[in-house]
Amino acid sequence: MINITIYSVNNKANEEQIREYDEKQLIKGVVRLNDNFSSAALSHKLIIEPKAVREIFDFIEWDIGQRTDSRDEQGGILVGQRYFDREKDIHYVIVSKAITADNAVGSTGYLDITHECWGIMHEKKDDYDRKTGRDSVIVGWFHTHPNKLSCFMSSTDRNTQNLFFAGDNTYSIVINPQRHLLKAFRSKECFATQAFLLLDSFCDTEK
């Protein structure tokens, strides 16, 4: 059983900027799609920029792959902007940064993100906004299902999504770094969603 505790989150509502969804311009180069991509609706898109992908992959040691030692759950938040293309009726987010929950308490089936950990992540978000001049929002979260677990939204995950990330244009990513599985979901209903992970030159999709 996967048990995740989140004590506090300052997650803003579904602010959406009006902007055209131009897939050819937004999604270039090497791309990894999520494993439940084909079952997702076309109305919502999750786009994760290379720097944010690398921040997630480095933190969860995606590139190491299978290990004999047991690994603990890890997680963090996704920061970026929400957009809406009125003409195409497409809602999407662009994740520009992943902020890792470095001080969370994890086990093979449990992730406890404390008040202190949330405070640190929010400080990092504010620092990121100051340095970049952005007014970013929390658009979702990610966490791992390590070892031999599959990627799904458990009852605890769904409760977390409903409590803190319930917005229709708000997302969750579940990753098994050893098995190289990755699924994306959105809203409190945890619908499958189309995710595009934009990979930099040292993200190997075949590992």
Strand 191-192 to 110-113 pairing: unpaired
> Residue 43 carries which DSSP code?
S
Distance CA 3, CA 17 (A): 34
Length of the chain: 207
AA identity, residue 37: F
Tell me, yes or no, if the pTM score tops 0.85.
yes
Q: Which two tokens stand for residue 151?
A: 């990627």
**For position 60, what pLDDT does the model report?**
93
Tens digit of pLDDT for each residue in 7-62?
Answer: 656 555 568 999 999 999 999 899 999 999 999 999 999 999 999 999 999 999 99
**For position 110, what pLDDT does the model report?**
75
Q: Is 158 exposed, middle or buried (0-12, 13-18, 19+ CB in 10 A)?
A: middle
Residues paired with 171 in a beta bridge: 140, 186
Q: Are 189 and 40 in contact (CB under 8 A)?
A: no
Does the domain at residues 3-199 carry the CATH identifier 3.40.140.10?
A: yes
Nearest residue to 34 via CA among 153, 145, 174, 199? 174
Tens digit of pLDDT for each residue in 104-141?
Answer: 877 777 787 888 898 999 999 999 999 999 999 999 99
